[in-house]
Structure 1
Amino acid sequence: MNHAIFVAKVIEKPVHLVYKECQSMEIKVKFPSPRQKNSKNELKILLWGDDKGDFLKYYKTQDYLIIEGTLTSTGYINKENEINEVKFIVKKFYPFLLI
């Protein structure tokens, strides 16, 4: 199972996604600092259900979050090269620093 807990910083405004009757929200986050220069430190998280409203109500860009959930990876090949996209499906999230 790909269960994980991360501390991340919100770097972009949320994007609302609608697929048939399901609605979700996708948010781009960044880890505080990468260990290696060639490592990726950005990730897209997905929020479902009541978590979307809570996020919009209490959080904004540049906030730090503790996120808990499931890590997913999809890979596909386009004309130039192979692209691996990693997303994180959030089960719970908490504020990291209250200022």
Structure 2
Amino acid sequence: MNHAIFVVKVIEKPVHLIYKECQSMEIKVKFPILRQKNSKNELKLLLWGDYKGDFIKYYKTQDYLIIEGILTSTGYVNEANEVKIIVKKLYPFLLI
């Protein structure tokens, strides 16, 4: 299964994507702490439906989020593969 739960930090403003009648939003995020020196630190979130409006209304760059979704990858052979997560649930993460 490719189901995953992560804590991430938003590093860029969202990009709106339009394909025919479907609209989605792509957001670049990174993990708060790098575990290994050569590991990937950044990935992209794909938001659909009501999560797009909620993200714009409640979140901004430098916010921490708990995301639950499906992990996808575009390439397996080269090192420049891009990792994306199709978001199923989105929660704020508070640091006190």
Higher strand share: 1
Go from structure 1 to structure 2 and tell me whether the alpha carbon gap of 1:3 and 1:52 turns closer, same or farther (over 3 Å shift): same
**Which TM-score applies when normalising by structure 1?**
0.90
Percent of matched pairs sharing the same residue: 88
Residue 74 of structure 2 corresponds to 74
Distance in 1 (CA, whole Å) between partners of 2:10 and 2:64 is 6
Larger CA Rg, structure 1 vs 2 = 1
SS in 2 for 1:75: coil
What is the Cα-based RMSD across aligned positions, in Å?
1.7
The 5 Å alignment of 1:1-99 reads 1-75=1-75, 83-97=80-94
Unaligned 5+ runs, structure 1: none
SS in 2 for 1:54: helix
**Which TM-score applies when normalising by structure 2?**
0.93
**Which AA in structure 1 matches 2:28?**
K
SS in 1 for 2:75: strand
- Displacement after TM superposition at 1:84 (Å): 1.1
| Runs of 4 or more above 2 Å deviation | none
